[in-house]
Amino acid sequence: MCDDELTPSEKQALEALRRDKPPSEFLVERVVRALRVRGVLEGRRRWFLEVTSLRIAGAVAACIVLLIGGFTLGRLSDSLGSSSAGALASKTSETSVAASLQRAGTAYVLALDTLASMPETAPGDEVRQGREVALVTLYTAAGQMARIVPRDLLAMQLVQAVEAEGGAGTGGRAEAHASRVVWF
């Protein structure tokens, strides 16, 4: 027997081997690059971006940075020199609103004290008008408090008392004060 001849079992094993194994991507890429360098293969180059989890995470991080940067820039530009009414209202703090309410309440109580010290025989309708304005202001304030703090019992009772009387003003004259406008 010759050394070059195969036994029947070796021939059978050789025929059972796969003969169509595809080349690896690395090999294909090297061959194509070499053919392009030699000028044998021409073609348009396609540019594509492979989507990987790292690139997605980078894109999300960039979006977050842009969002926070835009928000910060907007807040900074608002605080630097905006003189619109909206900007002034947003700059008003709770303590200044409380102080304003305190001043208005004190002025109201002082005006009521002045009204109480006036004689009943004051010239004109000044005392009567002062009482009506004081009551309308009180009822309007109670209505606003009932709207702001719906569970405030005193404000709700005052609003119910006004509604039971038929409106604001003295003597239940609802027709004179139906619109609840206070003229000064």
Contact 172, 132 (CB under 8 A): no
Does residue 179 have a pLDDT over 70?
A: no
Region 67-91: mean pLDDT is 68
Contact 109, 134 (CB under 8 A): no
Region 11-40: mean pLDDT is 85
Residue 176: its pLDDT value, please?
43
pLDDT tens, 94-138? 568 888 888 888 888 888 888 888 887 766 677 888 888 888 888
The Cα–Cα gap between 54 and 86 comes to 43
pLDDT tens, 131-156? 888 888 888 888 888 888 888 888 78
pLDDT tens, 39-70? 888 766 677 778 898 989 998 999 999 999 88
Does residue 177 have a pLDDT over 60?
A: no
The token pair that represents 51 in the structure block = 């989507």
Percent of the chain whose predicted confidence (pLDDT) is above 90: 5
Region 22-31: mean pLDDT is 87
The Cα–Cα gap between 65 and 143 comes to 47
Residue 40: its pLDDT value, please?
83
The Cα–Cα gap between 177 and 165 comes to 12
Contact 152, 159 (CB under 8 A): no
The chain-wide mean pLDDT, for the chain, equals 76
